[in-house]
């Protein structure tokens, strides 16, 4: 039994008091920033980015104070509810807007506002020379506000508002440099794929209303256990569709790689640390639904396992530093999904990995941005090499992120990812072997492709020409300004220590326990030390193989043809071709047929209808002669007609 359902049974989650009652401000502050920057126009050009950054930090401070207040309260009284106004009063359907501030949402608030604010700071340097900097910061603020609404909402409908809000911000930011048609296309692709998920989400919300008569978390979660497993399976699968699109999970993963068209800080914040993890949040938040639907839960785990291998394989073949990181993001979210699909044993670890990943992946993206900054915006790693000597801070901070994602103890990733691998080995029958095996092999591949990325960029021979030798093609690698490197350093500290701190004495799991529910002591099918040692061996093997190929040996400057698997991975395992063949072409033909019917049939009817209304109008218009005498006659006729008709009827 979990606390939310308990609270719902006893009555309500306690109404917020003290500072927490002002939780709306968390969302309102960045939203205000976005409004000022978008409406203020050029007048805000000079100081707009500082305002946006300040408001984001203000949100963080507020959230941090709320966290402290929450820690001060007892274990079971930490969740609080802030009421809003009656948003949708439609007959039986009453929807109050409200915010739910509990252990889960506050963890997200901290991640979003802290990493978000750091990235605001970073962007001040990164976007310094962009003529549209104000618009960029406005969108960033809009994103932070929407993401906070998403995680703080107390109902699925309000969550959906935030869900669409982050989608909008993501769309606007991927296509930020929309003068490049390829970037605009990338934005559209993300938009379309996300519509698929949104349809799933909207049907899920309607389904909830149909089943429970309500869409707020408390009612839905309290009723999930009694609603029958068929209904809950359907609901769980619909939510999974939404989660897959937003979190770039198989089979709706295709947009994430292209989304790297956006400015790098955007990739770090939206497409690595926060927005793409919304799907994981959704699954964990809806754990009551998934607990009541073992099949849907299994589907979540399968999707996670497939995606973690898929992303890892694609990541091995990418030469574009951002796309390789994107593939890695996909794979890491696959880990989180897998954990979320394991049920109560995994929820806390899914969120734990989400938080640590938010830090180290954002840090690595910012590092990639810093490298691009120093390399004339080039992204092809085959043109890098040996940069460690030129960009010391970037190298060290990136290195910490690299160690974290590899899962090397005692860095952050070890504490979270290793727990997921251990949990994947829990269970009966084939599942622990398949899921555990996938997670463990994934860790090995991750070690290979992340080391490949790290070595190709920072080590080995330099494969670029200095500016002095060739002014045209040459580059002049240099360290980025402090506004960029300080956020990287902060995130690197997080990559290094956060995992250790949060897992000290199982702190984070205990923190989330009232929300996601505890679980008994369960043992993996293999002893834990064996799993750990095997994993570390695989990681070491992957890293060593990468060292041989990309540090010790020379890296060819043009990509070799490679094996069939490499070619397939380079083409994202043909995801676009499959989408085109399966959905786009039949869709195009269907659309053509519909357009034809519409043009000939529907428009014909509508057109003639409009023409007849127009004809009637011209004829009636003649009655309006302009003579007062004929107007009076019309009136008199009307009076006589009405009186006569009523006299006849009565």
Question: What phi and psi, each to the nearest 5 degrees, are found at residue 291?
Answer: -60, -30
Whether 646 contacts 638, CB under 8 Å: no
Q: Which is nearer to another protein, 149 or 403 (CB)?
A: 149
Q: Which is nearer to another protein, 558 or 617 (CB)?
A: 617
Tokens encoding 475: 């580059």
Kindly tell me which of 90 and 471 has the beta carbon lying closer to another protein.
90
3 state SS of 153:
strand
- Nearer to another protein (CB atom), residue 228 or residue 638: 638
CB hemisphere CA count around 122 (13 angstroms) = 33
Closest distance of CB 141 from another protein, Å:
22
User: Taking the CB of residue 25, how many other CB atoms lie within 10 A of it?
Assistant: 15
Between CA 416 and CA 341 the distance in angstroms is 16
Interacting residue ranges for another protein, rule: CB under 8 A? 85-86, 89, 610, 613-614, 616-618, 620-621, 624, 626, 628, 630-632, 634-635, 637-639, 642-643, 645-647, 649-650
- Min dist. Cβ of residue 615 to another protein (A): 9
End-to-end CA distance of the chain: 70
Nearer to another protein, 501 or 635 (CB): 635
CB atoms near residue 606 (< 10 Å): 11
Shortest Cβ 60–another protein spacing (Å): 30
- Residue (86 or 230) nearer to another protein, CB: 86
> Which of 593, 633 has the CB closer to another protein?
633
Q: How far is the CB of 148 from another protein (least distance, A)?
A: 21
Whole-number Å distance between alpha carbons of 268 and 283: 22
Q: Which ranges of 228-293 would DSSP assign to H, the alpha helix?
A: 229-246, 255-258, 264-268, 278-285, 287-291
Asked if the peptide bond before residue 251 counts as cis, ω within 30 degrees of 0, the response is yes
CB of 38 to another protein, least distance (A): 14
Q: Which has the closest alpha carbon to 224: 290, 285, 172? A: 290
Q: Which of 388, 356, 358, 351 is nearest to 371 (CA)?
A: 388
Distances (CA, A) of 516 to 67, 142, 290, 489: 18, 29, 11, 33
Nearer to another protein, 41 or 587 (CB): 41
Neighbour-count burial of 489, counting CB atoms closer than 10 A to its CB (0-12 exposed, 13-18 middle, 19+ buried): middle
Place of tokens 């490197």: 485
43: tokens are 């007048």
Q: Which is nearer to another protein, 548 or 645 (CB)?
A: 645
Residue with tokens 């299994």: 298
Toward another protein, which CB reaches closer, 577 or 602? 602
Rank residues 471 and 649 by Cβ distance to another protein and give the closer one. Answer: 649
Mapped onto helix, strand or coil, the DSSP state of residue 321 is helix
Residue written as token pair 């796309």: 323
Closest CB to another protein among 165 and 444? 165
Instruction: Quickly count helices (H) and strands (E) in the chain.
Output: 27, 2
Cis peptide before 572 (omega within 30 of 0): no
Q: What angle do CA 177, 397, 132 make, to 5 degrees?
A: 20
Which residue lies nearer to another protein by CB, 42 or 129? 42
Minimum distance from residue 640 beta carbon to another protein (Å): 10
Residue 71: alpha-carbon gap to chain centroid? 27
Shortest separation between residue 636's beta carbon and another protein, angstroms: 8
Q: Minimal distance in Å, beta carbon 175 to another protein?
A: 22
Q: Least Å distance between CB 603 and another protein?
A: 14
Q: How many Cβ atoms sit within 10 Å of the Cβ of residue 399?
A: 17
Q: In whole angstroms, how close is the CB of 37 to another protein at the nearest point?
A: 18
Residue 357 CB, nearest distance to another protein (Å)? 38
Give the DSSP H or E segment for 174: helix 156-174
Minimum separation from the CB atom of position 623 to another protein (A): 8
The SS3 of residue 475 is: strand
Whole-number Å distance between alpha carbons of 410 and 617: 81
Q: How far is the CB of 89 from another protein (least distance, A)?
A: 6
């Amino acid at each position: 039994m979990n606390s939310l359902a308990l609270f719902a049974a006893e009555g309500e989650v306690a109404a917020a008091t003290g500072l927490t009652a002002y939780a709306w401000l968390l969302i309102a502050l960045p939203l205000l920033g976005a409004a000022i920057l978008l409406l203020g126009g050029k007048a805000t050009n000079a100081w707009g980015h500082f305002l946006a950054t300040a408001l984001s930090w203000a949100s963080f401070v507020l959230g941090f104070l709320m966290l402290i207040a929450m820690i001060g309260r007892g274990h079971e009284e930490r969740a609080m509810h802030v009421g809003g106004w009656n948003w949708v009063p439609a007959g039986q359907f009453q929807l109050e807007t409200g915010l739910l501030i509990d252990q889960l949402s506050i963890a997200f608030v901290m991640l979003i506002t802290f990493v978000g604010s750091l990235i605001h700071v970073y962007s001040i340097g990164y976007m310094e020379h962009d003529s549209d900097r104000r618009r960029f910061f406005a969108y960033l603020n809009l994103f932070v506000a929407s993401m906070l609404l998403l995680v703080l909402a107390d109902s699925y409908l309000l969550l959906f508002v935030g869900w669409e809000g982050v989608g909008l911000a993501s769309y606007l930011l991927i296509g930020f440099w929309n003068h490049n048609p390829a970037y605009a296309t990338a934005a559209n692709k993300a938009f379309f794929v996300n519509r698929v998920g949104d349809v799933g989400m909207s049907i899920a919300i309607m389904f909830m209303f149909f089943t429970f008569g309500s869409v707020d978390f408390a009612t839905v979660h309290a009723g999930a256990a009694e609603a029958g497993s068929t209904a809950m399976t359907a609901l769980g699968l619909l939510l999974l569709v939404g989660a897959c699109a937003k979190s770039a999970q198989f089979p709706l993963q295709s947009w994430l790689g292209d989304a790297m068209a956006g400015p790098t800080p955007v990739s770090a914040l939206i497409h690595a640390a926060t927005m793409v993890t919304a799907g994981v949040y959704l699954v964990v938040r809806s754990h009551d639904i998934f607990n009541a639907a073992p099949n849907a839960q299994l589907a979540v785990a399968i999707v996670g396992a497939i995606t973690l291998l898929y992303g890892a394989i694609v990541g091995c073949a990418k030469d574009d530093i951002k796309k390789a990181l994107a593939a890695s993001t996909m794979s890491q979210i696959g880990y989180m999904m897998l954990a979320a699909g394991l049920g109560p044993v995994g929820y806390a670890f899914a969120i734990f990995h989400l938080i640590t990943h938010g830090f180290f992946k954002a840090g690595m993206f910012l590092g990639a941005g810093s490298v691009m900054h120093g390399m004339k915006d080039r992204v092809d790693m085959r043109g890098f090499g040996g940069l460690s000597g030129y960009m010391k801070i970037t190298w060290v901070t990136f290195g910490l992120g690299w160690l974290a994602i590899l899962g090397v103890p005692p860095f952050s990733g070890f504490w979270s990812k290793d727990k997921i691998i251990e949990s994947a080995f829990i269970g009966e029958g084939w599942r622990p072997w398949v899921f555990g095996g996938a997670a463990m092999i994934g860790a090995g591949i991750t070690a290979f492709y992340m080391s490949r990325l790290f070595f190709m960029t920072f080590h080995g021979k330099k494969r670029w020409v200095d500016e002095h030798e060739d002014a045209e093609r040459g580059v002049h690698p240099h360290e980025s300004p402090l506004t960029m490197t300080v956020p990287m350093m902060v995130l690197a500290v997080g990559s290094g220590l956060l995992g250790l701190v949060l897992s000290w004495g199982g702190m984070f799991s205990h923190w989330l326990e009232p929300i996601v529910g505890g679980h008994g002591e369960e043992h993996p099918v293999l002893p834990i030390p064996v799993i750990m040692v095997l994993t570390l061996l695989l990681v070491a093997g992957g890293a060593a193989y990468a060292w041989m190929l990309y540090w010790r040996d020379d890296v060819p400057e043009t990509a070799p043809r490679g094996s069939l698997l490499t070619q397939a991975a380079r083409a994202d395992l043909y995801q676009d071709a499959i989408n085109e063949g399966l959905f786009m072409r039949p869709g195009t033909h269907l659309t053509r047929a519909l357009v034809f019917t519409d043009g000939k049939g529907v428009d014909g009817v509508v057109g003639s209808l409009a023409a007849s209304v127009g004809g009637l109008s011209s004829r009636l218009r003649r009655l309006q002669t302009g003579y007062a005498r004929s107007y009076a006659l019309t009136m008199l006729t009307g009076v006589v007609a009405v009186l006569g008709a009523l006299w006849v009827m009565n």
